[in-house]
């Protein structure tokens, strides 16, 4: 295990929990970036034209949101702490698609 990985582990914490947190944080960062891009697209302020249909990007965001929700539930069940710097609980509805096809 390299030094960087050692620094991410809490004392007495299994290595898988550090990997779990890393996976969650990376996914959440990518989800947030995609969300901001879609918001800018909807507002007409995106400075480029996406090469794939916006609905495909919306579907990707929904899938990523569902995966975030699954990881958050697992973290609660398996007592993995420190997913967010503020460690605030998230609601499943934060990542759900609404009836009109838009995402919460």
Q: Which is higher by pLDDT, 57 or 102?
A: 57
Convert the pLDDT of each residue in 15-52 to its tens digit.
999 999 999 999 999 999 999 999 999 999 999 999 99
Confidence band, pLDDT 50/70/90 cuts, at residue 84: confident
In 3D, which of 79, 66, 62 has the Cα closest to residue 21? 79
91 in Cβ contact with 97 (< 8 Å): no
d(CA 34, CA 59): 11
pTM of this structure? 0.71
Query: Residue 29's pLDDT is what?
Result: 97
């Amino acid at each position: 295990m390299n030094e960087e990985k050692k620094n991410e582990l809490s004392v007495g914490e299994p290595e898988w929990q550090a990997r779990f947190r890393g996976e969650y944080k990376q996914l959440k960062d990518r989800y947030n970036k995609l969300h901001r891009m879609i918001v800018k697209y909807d507002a007409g302020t995106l400075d480029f034209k996406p090469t794939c249909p916006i609905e495909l990007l919306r579907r990707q965001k929904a899938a990523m949101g569902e995966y975030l929700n699954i990881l958050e539930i697992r973290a609660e069940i398996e007592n993995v702490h420190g997913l967010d710097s503020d460690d605030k609980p998230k609601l499943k509805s934060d990542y759900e698609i609404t009836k009109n096809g838009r995402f919460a």
